[in-house]
Amino acid sequence: MLKNIGSSIPLLFVVLVGCTIFPKEGMPLRVHDIHINSQNSINPAELYAVIGEEIRWHNNLSAPIYLGFLSVQPMKQAGCERGFKTWYGAMQDIVRIPAGKYVSLCFLQSRMVRYNIWTDIADPTHSMSPTAVIHLDEAA
């Protein structure tokens, strides 16, 4: 009987430690990568993801680009942000992505997110990408 108790204690300890080091609510479910290769090349241009999964926009160009959301307030609807800044409690809806870097968000609401990429913010009309879309749904 002592042998069984002694062998189950380390296993129980490992399970408890594992749960406390890696809380589920703090970790994204999955990472989706969106690659911007040119003004007209967003891959994928249409993405399906689950609420809470991390979405990363990678700038594969040699110059900075700008990511802009259409009719979305990212701060109220996102978590796990990287590269976004806030201004008086509201997250900016246009973010600069330096060359070779990425920004990311985990959206927290089921919805459709539309966005554009600009390669030259001084000339937004001629440097804007076609609108890309992310479909967010709850896990099945």
CATH number where 53 lies = 2.60.40.420
Q: How many domains does the chain have?
A: 1
Within a domain: residue 125?
yes
- Give the residue numbers spanning the domain of 121: 27-137
What is the pLDDT of the chain when averaged over all its residues?
Answer: 78
Count of alpha carbons within 13 angstroms of residue 64, beta-carbon side: 11
pLDDT of residue 66: 94
Model confidence pTM above 0.85: no
Within a domain: residue 3?
no
Query: Does position 91 have pLDDT exceeding 70, yes or no?
Result: no
Within a domain: residue 13?
no
Within a domain: residue 5?
no
| Beta-bridge partner residues of 91 | 86
pLDDT of residue 24: 46
Within a domain: residue 21?
no
- d(C-alpha 59, C-alpha 66), whole Å: 9
- d(C-alpha 88, C-alpha 102), whole Å: 24
pLDDT in tens, 12-71: 443 333 333 334 455 557 999 999 998 889 999 999 999 999 999 999 999 999 999 887
